[in-house]
Structure 1
Amino acid sequence: MHLIQLPDFLQLTIFICFCAIIAIQLFYYLFFFNRLAQYRAPEKTESQEYPVSVIICARDEAENIARNLPGILVQQYRTTHEVIVVNDNSTDETKFLLDEFRKSFKNINPVALTQEAKMIPGKKFPLSMGIKSSKYEVVLLTDADCVPASENWIQKMQDAYHDDVQIVLGYGAYHKKPGLLNKLIRFETFHSALQYFSFALSGMPYMGVGRNLSYKKELFYNNKGFSAINHIPGGDDDLFINKVATKDNTAIAIDPEAHTLSEPKLSFGEWQKQKYRHYTTSKYYKPKHKFLLGLYSFSQILVYPLFVAALLFYNWWLALAVLLLRMIVQGAVWRNTMKKLNEADLWPYFILLDIWMLFYYLLFTPALFKKPAKNWN
């Protein structure tokens, strides 16, 4: 029985549209996201440790370097490794801090840039200089405002390399703090990771995050570095991976000890600026990735408006039953993946966070049509 009278064909059309949107959502959860929920890291028959070059780009990040660099320098990694900090035209105390660190840690290698790269906006030039200066084939990237979640970060990230793997995608989490904004930031980070990890496991890797990303120098040079995207301010992580990643050369590392942790933004406005900057690069993804991600976002936006319409104009208990089916599947997938990514405290709020996604997409969709900002830090 429906609550509001409409012509029969309109009632049925509304319900069919609602069922179609739920079917699309179930497809994503069962075909893509469930892969991450059920993921078990492959057992390695033989262990090999690679020399690793950790690369950090910093511009006026003295405070973050003082706070976070020690966590990288004290990593428990038996094999040779170095920590390269690219000081990109900093005007603060960064140089003096790095000089002090060098007195105690012999594996730190500062690279000082004193001139801006013309016609190459963003972070790509300093990162390219860091890769060029690195001694080892495996490079592990993070940011100055990130700290490894454990002393085994390097070990856990490099352990994902095997066979033909040239890229390892890691998880860049945020510190857990009280308040609604912290939960929203951490949930958005989880939700993004749910997508890029799941797509990678499905043989369609499309992005990584520069807070925790590793690849081999051979891959970087064989693809002429960032030359194809030098005109775009962002994209040193997601666009580069979108270009070079394949189903055979990409692996993921989701062990909690392989995570990095960053300080979340303290105001909604600052977080909005950060997300706008990130979303302006997604328009340059490969067409198949834009289609799949766009279809998922579109279906997510329509779930609750169509649910309300079906509730009012068709049959309330049928509409509720269809939504409940999605929520059961979604809840199970989110519970398992949140546990794997150490975000389990968010799960009790999953219904509210799911409703929030409608407003999130409406809020950040305009970023797709904005011109990227030129600054990278």
Structure 2
Amino acid sequence: MSQIIFFVFVGIAAINFLYFLFFGSFLFSYKKKRVIASKQNHLPVSLVICAKNEAESLQLNIPYFLDQSHPDFEIVLVNDCSVDNTLDIMESFQKKDARIKIVNVQNNERFWGNKKYALTLGIKKASHAHLIFTDADCKPESKEWLALMSAQFNSDKEIVLGYGAYETVEKSFLNKIIRYETLITATQYFSYAFLGTPYMGVGRNLAYTSQLFYANNGFVDHMNVLSGDDDLFVNAVATSKNVALLLEEEGFTKSEPKKTWKDWYIQKRRHVSTSQHYKTKHQLLLGLYYVSQVLFWVLAIVLAFINFDFLYWVVSFMFIKIALQYIIIGKASQLLKEKGLLCFLPFQEIVLLSTQMIIFMHNKFSKPIHWK
């Protein structure tokens, strides 16, 4: 019996190593290049921001959006049935700057609490064919953000995937977990897109054309799914040829992270609930990665306890896995300008895998019912 477990463990370890090599093929072959955002490729863009009870965030971040260097853009602010003074903040900025448009969404019994409905109204309000999306609690990392995002569009590229980072909170283990999970997710979706099989993007930093949106009937195919205005749409319409990547630091956005484990857990429940609606090939690839990660640690512990003779091999495979992780995640953190995430790497992975397992089980019995 122990020999069978050992051979299964070796197979699982091999799958782990192949995934790391897959990610490494992107991380070590991708060459960062400074995109020249010249006036010739300054396409007019509409920045669409959907907000629900985000008065404080909007007050803080709208000035950063208005201060972008891009010469031709508008901001479409969508108030999704807020009960605070979100609408008042939007209107106060609109009075000062004609580039701002407002969509005030009223409760709709059919689409109650559905961000996709609110976003659709925002997209319909947009004047320009090239749409850029972020969240109310995000701010751009530079004045060049909109210019760099718009510069990625061309006759072939209809989707732009950017990186949405989180602020660093010193001496917070939760913050390290949040940023570690964000880094791992980004490494995955950038790698898949770079190698020809894009499967998701994040709404904190995403762009696509209105033509692509309307040609695919927007969010109609998954309107009943609470989340997924970003990843499910990209999963449905992205191809090996129509996606561009923006990994320059000036093109990042940064958000305020959740401050409590409860708030982060609720947020991740919404995010995880969309994965079951991905294309089958993506579900299989992502599922195999997650299962192989979990089984590696489970089988390693089992073997260490049931047969001491395998301990040398178990420790050797663990060393190889951890070494590969430090190399790959270290390269990813360098590329995406994330610092301070490697000190407790194996422990962070185990905590994240355990949390994800709990979320999967929780979502099986109870679905999230609000986007915010």
TM-score (norm 1): 0.91
Does 1:160 pair with 2:152?
A: yes
| Letter matched to residue 85 of structure 2 | E
Pair 1:375–1:360, CA change in 2 (3 A): closer
Give the aligned length.
367
2:132–2:205 CA contact under 8 A, matched in 1: yes
Does structure 1 residue 326 correspond to structure 2 residue 321?
Answer: yes
Which of 339, 357, 375 lines up with 2:370 in the alignment? 375
Matched, 1:190 2:216: no
1: CA distance, partners of 2:206 / 2:269: 21
Mapped pair 1:51 → 2:37: no
The one-letter amino acid of 1:171's match is Y
- 1:266 matches 2:259: yes
Partner of 1:310: 303
SS at match of 2:340: helix
> Does 1:231 pair with 2:224?
yes
Going from structure 1 to structure 2, the CA distance change for 1:117 and 1:41 (only over 3 Å counts) comes to: farther
With over 3 angstroms needed to count, the CA separation of the structure-2 counterparts of 1:352 and 1:241, relative to structure 1, is same
Shift of 1:107: 1.2
Match 1:340 to one of 332, 335, 340 = 335
Is residue 6 of structure 2 the alignment partner of residue 11 of structure 1? no
SS in 1 for 2:344: helix
Cα distance change of structure 1 residues 117 and 211 upon mapping to structure 2, 3 Å threshold: farther
Q: For the structure 1 residues 163 and 371, does the alpha-carbon distance in structure 2 shift closer, same or farther, using more than 3 Å as the test?
A: farther
The residue type equivalent to 1:107 in the other structure is R
Alignment-derived partner of residue 284 in structure 1: 277
Whole-angstrom distance in 2 between the partners of 1:324 and 1:163: 47
Instruction: Name the CA distance, whole Å, in 1 between partners of 2:115 and 2:129.
Output: 21
Task: Tell me how far apart the structure 2 counterparts of residues 255 and 44 of structure 1 sit (CA, whole Å).
Answer: 8
1:257 aligns with one of 246, 250, 254: 250
Query: So what's the TM-score if we normalise by structure 2?
Result: 0.92
Deviation (angstroms), 1:265: 1.2
Displacement of 1:368 after TM fit? 4.6
User: Which position in structure 2 is the counterpart of 1:23?
Assistant: 14
Separation of aligned partners in 2, 1:263 and 1:375: 20
Report how far residue 161 of structure 1 moved: 2.4
What's the CA shift for 1:235? 1.4
1:211-249 deviation per Cα after TM superposition (whole angstroms, max 9, x unaligned): 111001110010011111112222111111111111111
How far the C-alpha of 1:199 sits from its partner, in A, is 1.1
How big is the shift at 1:156?
Answer: 2.2
| Distance of 1:46 and 1:82 partners within structure 2 | 18
Q: Does 1:349 align with 2:344?
A: yes
**What amino acid is the match of 2:84?**
D
Superposed CA offset, 1:317-367 (max 9, x none): 222222222222221111010111121311222232233333233222214
Q: Which residue of 1 aligns with 2:26?
A: 35
Question: Shift of residue 315 of structure 1?
Answer: 2.5
Deviation larger for 36-45 or 336-345: 36-45
- Where in structure 2 are there 5+ consecutive unaligned residues? none
The CA distance in 1 between the partners of 2:42 and 2:278, in whole Å, is 33
Query: Given the alignment of the two structures, is residue 116 of structure 1 paired with residue 108 of structure 2, yes or no?
Result: yes
Residue type of the alignment partner of 1:330 = Q
> Secondary structure of 1:345's partner?
coil
Task: Please report how far the alpha carbon of residue 268 of structure 1 lies from its aligned counterpart in structure 2 after TM superposition.
Answer: 0.7
- Which whole-Å deviations, capped at 9, do the CAs of 1:234-273 have from their partners, x for residues lacking one? 2111111111111111122122221111111111111111
CA contact (8 A) 1:209 1:238 kept: yes
Residues 280 and 371 in structure 1, CA contact (< 8 A), matched pair in contact too: no
- How far apart in 2 are the matches of 1:206 and 1:368? 21
Counterparts of 1:120 and 1:42 in 2: how far apart (Å)? Answer: 43
Q: Equivalent residue of 2:254, what SS?
A: strand
In the alignment, is the contact (CA less than 8 A) between 2:187 and 2:332 conserved in 1?
Answer: yes
1:359 corresponds to which residue? 354
2:81 aligns with 89
8 Å contact from structure 1 (residues 206, 289) kept in 2: yes
- Percentage of pairs with the same residue: 37
User: How far apart in 1 are the matches of 2:151 and 2:322?
Assistant: 35
Q: Which amino acid aligns with 1:91?
A: V
SS at 1:140 equivalent: strand
Q: Which moved more, 1:323-332 or 1:182-191?
A: 323-332
Contact 1:173 1:189 in 2 (8 A): yes
Are the equivalent residues in 2 in contact too, given 1:301–1:357 (CA < 8 A)? no
Instruction: Select the residue among 113, 124, 132 that pairs with 1:132.
Output: 124
